[in-house]
């Protein structure tokens, strides 16, 4: 094979690798969004089915719950969802869209979390913030539910792992019947009678309704798997707006770099994302997301790939903004290139210099 | 009968400069202006602007390709010069701006040949985005407006009025040769002499929708008037009108009712950004189609391909098939929204951090023009 042909093959492979990388990352981004839909959908399914039987349904996506045993003054737990079904019963839920491989029994960490949430927790919508009957629900995508569901249900029946409260595994997935639906079904375990039959048979919820009901939330109380997810949101929804909003004159165009110079501050940016797409954590027991660290990681990544730099204030950044046609792919290309590029060898200064 | 001026363009320009009020300008257009030169028409564009348009144009710091010189305050009148680099002559002319019957909608009017409108006014209006929005009308709205014009004229002149369509520029979906599934949108320009009703029926039966339509109106001679009146009126989906006579009728029976529709539409699109709603997002907007459009994944893919051609915007497509999810950021305005296709007859548009009515108009107009026209409304949870 000639060297030209070899070069073409190498280039094709690079493009191929990048295309696969883009596709995988987009799938993970969409998975994160699906998780937010699953959280909201689970709450709405329950609310729609029992609202006539109950005067109100208090619920929260992410809620700081305090272990009753405060002897060590532990940090509150923050389950992904908390739903109070009746004045005396409720649900604590965790959603896992992506499940790691069970190498070296890594799934034991999921079991440990289940056991952790099995404690009596304060933070319910009652006078003393306590209730007597709690069901813990582990919600996971259809592709994972069989294996992880069987694993957890088997483990909790073993000696030493038994739980004080009810536990169930619920699977969710997309269903297409003319419209797109999100489908939920109990994989195994026990749930309160008031909702058990709903999930036993399976229930679907139109995704169009969830687009409205999620209130444009792009985050929940778990860090996205890829920093590029936050980077794309920042570029598309925040930086573009700051650079191009009408009558905006404070952003300078740098003729040398051929980019706009946009100054942003980590704290302000974090607060903006929380207010628009997440949770500010201002109300009692309300968690904060996205966390400041997630946003900081995203900004540092922009610096790493040459799309930003620090100012003298370590929390302030100058973004080198350009109008990219496809910012997410551009960002992935640049981070991908950065990963593939080997670090230059450090050179020792000649003692003669 | 109008006073015959040697050149209606000069007459218009001189009156625009000398007039002392909007109402006298309106009177001139409706009663005095005689458009009896070939290819010279009274042309009008409806535009959406939320603040003082006169003040905005007077500052004109937003324009790079045009030079504006204010020649009158009331009516607001400007001489506009388009400078085309490399050419010795510049294209110049006069336009006026009058208020409409509704808030935030202005009428930009000129008396000119088609070339001035096409080569100066239309690019000028495009350059004014995102401050100014070029509007859009649905086919049904224009059909109803034209039929209403015809009816009003018949009431005014019983048995004396004849309306007919003389030219239609229309679009339809065509199969791409060699493919069963892929479609493109083809444009057809046709000359006819059918009635309004017959034209609309014909277009509907053949699966066409019109971009612009030119209608001839003839009012026969009567005991009141010894000669007949005739005029040709053109209207386009993008809110532009032109006529070579009967401006008063066009204004009263055609444009004014459409202004009200426009006002309601812009009110629907206003106040949608999350930040301006004090961080309390509202429901998404929807484009609803009569009948099923996204019947299979090829149609969803086709929609994705159309969106991919949206200019002056960043597009991130998260999912293209079998459902569609993308985020669009407008590079001219900073607005962003998400597009979803999750059912067979609806597109959802979810405004994000900022989402101006102008940016929403632009994306909706693009979808209507390049994909398919539907009905825009607010999505109601639980009603579907």
User: What's the confidence (pLDDT) of residue B123?
Assistant: 92
pTM, to two decimals: 0.89
pLDDT at A12 over 70: no
pLDDT at A53 over 90: no
Find out whether A183 and A175 touch, Cβ atoms under 8 Å.
yes
Distance in angstroms (rounded) separating the CA atoms of residues B229 and B103: 33
H/E/C letters for each residue in chain B? Answer: CCCCCCCHHHHHHHHHHHCCCHHHHHHHHHHHCCCCCCCEEEEEEEEECCCCHHHHHHHCCCCCCEEEEEEECCCEEEEEEECCCCCCCCEEEEEEEEECCCCCEEEEEEEEEHHHHHHHHHHHHHHHCCCCEECCCCHHHHHHHHHHHHHHHHHHCCCCEEEEEEEEEEEEEEECCCCCCCEEEEEEEEEEEECHHHHHHHHHHCCEEEEEEEEEEEECCCCCCCCCEEEEEEEECCCEEEECCCHHHHHHHHHHHHHHHHHHHHHHHCCCCCCCCCCCCCCCEEEECCCCCCCCHHHHHHHHHHHHCCCCEEEEEEECCCCEEEEEEECCCCCEEEEEECCCCEEEEEECCCCCHHHHHHHHHHHHHHCCCCEEEECCCCCC
Residue A30: which of B319, B329, B384 has the nearest Cβ?
Answer: B319
Question: Mean pLDDT over all residues of chain A?
Answer: 87
Distance in angstroms (rounded) separating the CA atoms of residues A169 and A157: 14
> Which residues from B are below 8 Å from A when comparing CB atoms?
130-131, 274-275, 279, 281, 283-284, 314-316, 318-319, 322-323, 325, 327, 329-336, 340, 342-344, 346, 348, 350, 352-354, 356, 379, 381-382, 384
Q: Which residue, among A212, A214, A211, A306, has the nearest Cα to A258 in the 3D structure?
A: A306
User: What's the confidence (pLDDT) of residue A351?
Assistant: 39
Report the percent of chain A where pLDDT is more than 70: 87
Identify the residue among A205, A210, A211, A218 best suited for mutation to test binding to B, counting B beta carbons within 10 A and taking the highest.
A211
User: What's the confidence (pLDDT) of residue B228?
Assistant: 75
Which run of H or of E encompasses A260? Answer: strand A259-265
The phi, psi pair for A4, rounded to 5°, reads -65, -45
CB of A197 less than 8 A from some CB of B: no
The residues, ordered by sequence, that sit 6+ positions from B186 with a Cβ below 8 Å of its Cβ are B171, B172, B173, B174
Distance in angstroms (rounded) separating the CA atoms of residues B99 and B263: 13
User: What's the confidence (pLDDT) of residue B264?
Assistant: 94
Segments in chain B below pLDDT 50? 1, 182
At residue A54 the predicted structure's pLDDT band, cuts being 50, 70 and 90, is: very low
CB of A308 less than 8 A from some CB of B: no
User: What's the confidence (pLDDT) of residue A237?
Assistant: 94
ipTM: 0.88
Which run of H or of E encompasses A67? Answer: strand A66-67
Which tokens hold the place of A344? 């230059």
Q: Which residue of A has its CA nearest to B315?
A: A326
Identify the residue among B280, B335, B338, B354 best suited for mutation to test binding to A, counting A beta carbons within 10 A and taking the highest.
B354
Which tokens hold the place of B115? 């070339």
Q: Which residues of A113-150 are buried (b: 16+ CB within 10 A; e: fewer)?
A: bbbebbbebbbbbeeeeebeebbbbbbbbeeebeebbe
Q: 3-state DSSP call for residue A47?
A: helix
Q: Of A66-80, A228-242, A290-304, which range is least confident?
A: A66-80
Identify the residue among B133, B274, B333, B342 best suited for mutation to test binding to A, counting A beta carbons within 10 A and taking the highest.
B342
User: What's the confidence (pLDDT) of residue A321?
Assistant: 96
Find out whether B363 and B347 touch, Cβ atoms under 8 Å.
no
CB of A245 less than 8 A from some CB of B: yes
Chain B residues closer than 8 Å to A243 by CB: 334
User: What's the confidence (pLDDT) of residue B54?
Assistant: 84
Distance from CA of B276 to the nearest CA of A (A): 11
Q: Which residue, among A24, A12, A87, has the nearest Cα to A53 in the 3D structure?
A: A87
Residue B318: which of A29, A248, A275 has the nearest Cβ?
Answer: A29
Q: Which residue, among B69, B103, B222, has the nearest Cα to B156 in the 3D structure?
A: B222
Distance in angstroms (rounded) separating the CA atoms of residues A300 and B362: 35
The Cα-based distances of A111 to A138, A190, B290, B373 in angstroms read 10, 16, 50, 53
Distance in angstroms (rounded) separating the CA atoms of residues B293 and A180: 15
Q: Which residue of A has its CA nearest to B132?
A: A246
Chain A residues closer than 8 Å to B61 by CB: none
Chain A residues closer than 8 Å to B329 by CB: 236-237, 240-241, 327
Residue A275 burial (CB count, 10 A)? 16
Residue B352: which of A206, A216, A246 has the nearest Cβ?
Answer: A216
CB of A29 less than 8 A from some CB of B: yes
Report CB contact under 8 Å: A237, B329: yes
Report CB contact under 8 Å: A179, B342: yes
Distance from CA of A207 to the nearest CA of B (A): 7
Q: Which residue of A has its CA nearest to B62?
A: A247
Chain B residues closer than 8 Å to A212 by CB: 283-284, 379, 381
Burial class (CB in 10 A: 0-12, 13-18, 19+), A244: buried
Residue B227 burial (CB count, 10 A)? 10
Report the percent of chain B where pLDDT is more than 70: 91
User: What's the confidence (pLDDT) of residue A156?
Assistant: 87
Report CB contact under 8 Å: B381, A212: yes
Report CB contact under 8 Å: B314, A325: yes
Residue A216: which of B331, B346, B350 has the nearest Cβ?
Answer: B350
CB of A250 less than 8 A from some CB of B: no
Q: Which residue, among B43, B4, B75, B9, has the nearest Cα to B251 in the 3D structure?
A: B43
Chain B residues closer than 8 Å to A240 by CB: 314, 329-331, 334, 336
Q: What is the pLDDT of residues B156-165, one digit of tens each?
A: 888 888 888 9
Q: Which residue, among A191, A58, A69, has the nearest Cα to A119 in the 3D structure?
A: A69
pLDDT at A213 over 50: yes
Report CB contact under 8 Å: A276, B348: no
Distance in angstroms (rounded) separating the CA atoms of residues A165 and A90: 11
Q: What is the pLDDT of residues B134-168, one digit of tens each?
A: 888 998 999 999 999 999 988 888 888 888 898 88
Distance from CA of A86 to the nearest CA of B (A): 24
CB of A281 less than 8 A from some CB of B: no
User: What's the confidence (pLDDT) of residue A352?
Assistant: 39
Identify the residue among A212, A275, A286 best suited for mutation to test binding to B, counting B beta carbons within 10 A and taking the highest.
A212
């Amino acid at each position: 094979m000639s060297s030209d042909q070899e070069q073409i093959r190498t280039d094709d492979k690079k493009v191929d690798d990048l295309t696969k990388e883009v596709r995988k990352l987009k799938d993970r981004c969409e998975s994160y969004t699906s998780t937010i839909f699953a959280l909201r959908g689970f709450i709405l399914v329950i609310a729609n089915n029992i609202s006539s039987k109950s005067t109100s349904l208090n619920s929260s996506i992410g809620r700081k719950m305090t272990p009753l045993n405060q002897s060590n003054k532990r940090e509150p737990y923050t389950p992904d969802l908390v739903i109070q079904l009746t004045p005396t019963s409720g649900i604590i839920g965790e959603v896992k869209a992506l499940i790691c491989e069970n190498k070296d029994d890594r799934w034991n960490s999921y079991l440990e979390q289940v056991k952790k949430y099995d404690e009596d927790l304060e933070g319910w919508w009652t006078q003393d913030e306590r209730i007597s009957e709690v069901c813990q629900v582990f919600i996971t995508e259809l592709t994972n539910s069989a294996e992880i569901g069987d694993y957890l249900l088997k483990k909790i029946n073993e000696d030493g792992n038994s739980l004080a409260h009810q536990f169930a595994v619920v699977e969710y997935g997309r269903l297409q019947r003319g419209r797109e639906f999100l489908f939920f079904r109990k994989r195994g375990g026990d749930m309160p009678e008031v909702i058990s039959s709903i999930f036993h048979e399976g229930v679907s919820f139109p995704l169009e309704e969830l687009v409205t009901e999620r209130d444009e939330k792009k985050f929940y109380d778990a860090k996205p798997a890829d920093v590029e997810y936050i980077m794309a949101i920042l570029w598309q929804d925040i930086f573009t707006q700051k650079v191009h909003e009408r009558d905006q004159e404070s952003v300078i165009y740098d003729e040398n770099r051929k980019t706009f110079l946009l100054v942003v501050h980590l704290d302000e940016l974090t607060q903006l994302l929380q207010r628009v797409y997440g949770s500010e954590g201002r109300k009692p027991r309300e968690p904060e997301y996205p966390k400041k660290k997630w946003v900081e990681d995203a900004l540092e990544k922009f610096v790493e790939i040459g799309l930003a730099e620090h100012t003298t204030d370590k929390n302030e950044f100058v973004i080198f903004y350009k109008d990219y046609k496809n910012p997410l792919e551009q960002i992935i290309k640049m981070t991908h290139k950065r990963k593939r590029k080997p670090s230059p060898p450090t050179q020792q200064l000649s003692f003669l210099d | 009968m109008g006073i015959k001026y040697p050149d209606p363009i000069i007459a218009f320009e001189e009156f625009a400069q000398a007039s002392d009020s909007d109402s006298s300008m309106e009177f001139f257009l409706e009663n005095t202006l005689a458009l009896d030169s070939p290819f010279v028409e009274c042309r009008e564009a409806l535009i959406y602007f939320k603040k003082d348009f006169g003040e905005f144009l007077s500052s004109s710091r937003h324009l790079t390709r045009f030079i504006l010189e204010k020649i009158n305050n009331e009516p607001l009148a400007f001489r506009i010069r388009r400078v085309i680099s490399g050419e010795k002559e510049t294209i110049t002319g006069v336009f006026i701006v009058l208020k409409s019957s509704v808030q935030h909608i202005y009428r930009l009017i000129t008396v000119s040949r088609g070339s001035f409108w096409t080569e100066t006014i239309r690019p000028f209006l495009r350059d004014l985005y995102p401050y100014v929005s070029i509007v859009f009308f649905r086919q049904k709205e224009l059909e109803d407006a034209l039929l209403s014009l015809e009816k009003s004229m018949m009431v005014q002149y019983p048995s004396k009025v004849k309306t007919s369509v003389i030219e239609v520029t229309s679009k339809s979906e065509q199969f791409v040769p060699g493919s069963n599934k892929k479609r493109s949108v083809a444009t057809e320009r046709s000359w006819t002499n059918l009635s309004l009703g017959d034209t609309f029926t014909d277009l509907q039966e053949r699966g066409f929708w019109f971009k612009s339509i030119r209608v001839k109106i003839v009012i026969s001679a009567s005991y009141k008037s010894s000669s007949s009146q005739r005029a040709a009126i053109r209207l386009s989906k993008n809110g532009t009108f032109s006529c070579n006579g009967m401006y008063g009728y066009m204004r009263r029976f055609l444009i004014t009712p459409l202004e009200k529709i426009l006002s309601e539409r812009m009110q629907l699109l206003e106040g949608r950004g999350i930040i301006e709603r004090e961080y309390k997002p509202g429901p998404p907007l929807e484009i609803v189609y009569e009948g099923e459009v996204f019947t299979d994944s090829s149609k969803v893919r086709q929609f994705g391909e159309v969106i991919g051609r949206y200019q002056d915007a960043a597009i991130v497509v998260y999912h293209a098939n079998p459902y569609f999810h993308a985020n669009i950021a407008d590079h001219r305005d900073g607005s962003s929204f998400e597009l979803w296709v999750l059912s067979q007859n609806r597109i959802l548009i979810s405004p994000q951090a900022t989402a101006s009515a102008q940016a929403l108009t632009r994306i909706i107009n693009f979808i209507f023009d390049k994909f398919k026209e539907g009905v825009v409304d607010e999505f109601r949870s639980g009603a579907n």
